[in-house]
Amino acid sequence: MNARTIKLLLTATLAAPLMALAAGEHGGGHGSTMGDMHKGMPGHDAMEAHDSAAGKPGDPAKVTRTVPVEMGDNMRFTPSEISVKAGETIRFFVVNKGKIAHEMVIGSAAELDEHAEMMRNMPGMKHAEPNQITLEPGKRGGIVWTFDKAGTFAFACLVPGHKEAGMAGKIAVN
């Protein structure tokens, strides 16, 4: 199949969930349809398990602190550098201050690069994995994530062109 055929099939298959997202519902996105599509794709078996080199989904009852994060049309996150302690469960309170959709995806630099490539090939894809959130203009939401090991990890907006324009940040886990 060529890229146009794949895009048409995805559009037809995902029309209802995407319309729900456009209406302001969050929680849909990859869901089961996109998740099933990811199975067997290189690097996405880990996403199916919801774990990442950067950690794992956090338990909201065990949040140790909340970190506010703003996304804007200047293609920047505020803050762009975040420090956490290994074992800490963070609630990222994410707000899209822009006039276009943005997202925050947490992972290793390699995971984000790989996912960014997929997003370039499927630009309408939305996210609903525990380490990802897509927000329409003016919307807010959250990610609860446990950083279970030390290291330097990343977060980025993987809407095509946004990461390349500088919409990325670092998370130092000590």
Contact 110, 124 (CB under 8 A): no
- Residue 46's pLDDT band (boundaries 50, 70, 90)? very low
Which structure tokens are listed for 33? 């349809």
- Residue 11's pLDDT band (boundaries 50, 70, 90)? very low
**To which residue do tokens 């990802």 refer?**
132
**E strand or H helix at 119:** helix 109-121
52: closest CA among 147, 119, 122, 143? 147
What pLDDT is stored for residue 125 in this prediction? 66
Query: In percent, how much of the chain has pLDDT > 90?
Result: 56
This model's pTM is above 0.75: no
Mean pLDDT of 128-137: 91
Q: Is the pLDDT of residue 30 over 80?
A: no
Mean pLDDT of 34-53: 44
What pLDDT is stored for residue 43 in this prediction? 38
What pLDDT is stored for residue 115 in this prediction? 84
Q: What are phi and psi of 33, to 5 degrees?
A: -65, -55
Which structure tokens are listed for 52? 């990442």
Q: For the segment 83-99, what is each residue's pLDDT rounded down to a tens digit?
A: 999 999 999 999 999 99
Q: For the segment 61-73, what is each residue's pLDDT rounded down to a tens digit?
A: 999 999 999 999 9
Q: Name residue 106's beta-bridge partners.
A: 155
Of 32-41, 112-121, 151-160, give the range with the top mean pLDDT. 151-160
Q: Which residue has the higher pLDDT, 75 or 7?
A: 75
What pLDDT is stored for residue 81 in this prediction? 98
**To which residue do tokens 């609860």 refer?**
144
Mean pLDDT of 12-18: 35
Dihedral (C-alpha) 27, 34, 47, 54: value to the nearest 10 degrees? -50
What pLDDT is stored for residue 50 in this prediction? 58
Residues in contact with 12: Cβ distance below 8 Å, sequence separation at least 6, in sequence order: none
What pLDDT is stored for residue 117 in this prediction? 83
Q: What is the mean pLDDT of the chain?
A: 77
SS (H, E, C) 37-60: HHCCCCCCHHHHCCCECCEEECCH
According to DSSP, the β-strands at 102-107 and 76-78 are unpaired
Supply the CATH classification number for the domain 3-173: 2.60.40.420
